Amino acid sequence: MGTFSLEPEQLAWCGELRALAADRLAPLAEKGEPGRVNRPLVAELGQLGLLERLFTSGALDLCLLRESLARVSTEAETALALQGLGAHPIHAYGSTTVRERWIPEVAAGRAVAAFALSEPGAGSDAAALSLEARPGDDGDSWRLTGEKCWISNAPEADVYTVFARTTQGAGARGVTAFAVPADRPGLTGEHLDMISPHPIGTLAFDGVPVTRDDLLGEVDAGFRVAMGTLNLFRPSVGAFAVGMAQAALDAALAHTAEREAFGAPLKDLQTVAHQVADMSVRVESARLMVYAAAGAYDEGAPDVPRRAAAAKLIATETAQQVVDAAVQLHGARALRRGHVLEHLYREVRAPRIYEGASEVQRAIIARELYKGNKKETS
Catalytic residue annotation:
355
Q: Which residues, 6 or more positions from 84, have their beta carbon under 8 angstroms from its beta carbon?
A: 51, 54, 62, 233
Phi, psi of 134 (to 5 degrees): -85, 125
For residue 260, the 8-state DSSP code is E
d(CA 201, CA 103): 23
d(CA 84, CA 356): 17
Q: Which amino acid makes up residue 187? A: L
d(CA 11, CA 24): 20
Task: With residue 256 as reference, give the H or E element that holds it.
Answer: helix 222-258
Asked if 113 contacts 87 with a C-beta cutoff of 8 angstroms, the reply is yes
Asked if 242 contacts 292 with a C-beta cutoff of 8 angstroms, the reply is no
Going through the chain in order, the beta strands assigned E by DSSP cover: 113-116, 132-135, 141-152, 159-165, 175-181, 187-191, 200-211, 215-216, 260-261, 264-265
d(CA 284, CA 14): 16
Among positive and negative, which fits the CA dihedral 38, 85, 75, 46?
negative
d(CA 164, CA 116): 9
In this structure, the dihedral spanned by the alpha carbons of residues 363, 365, 369 and 375, taken in order and rounded to 10 degrees, is: 90
For residue 21, the 8-state DSSP code is I
R_g of the chain, CA atoms, integer Å: 21
Asked if 167 contacts 173 with a C-beta cutoff of 8 angstroms, the reply is yes
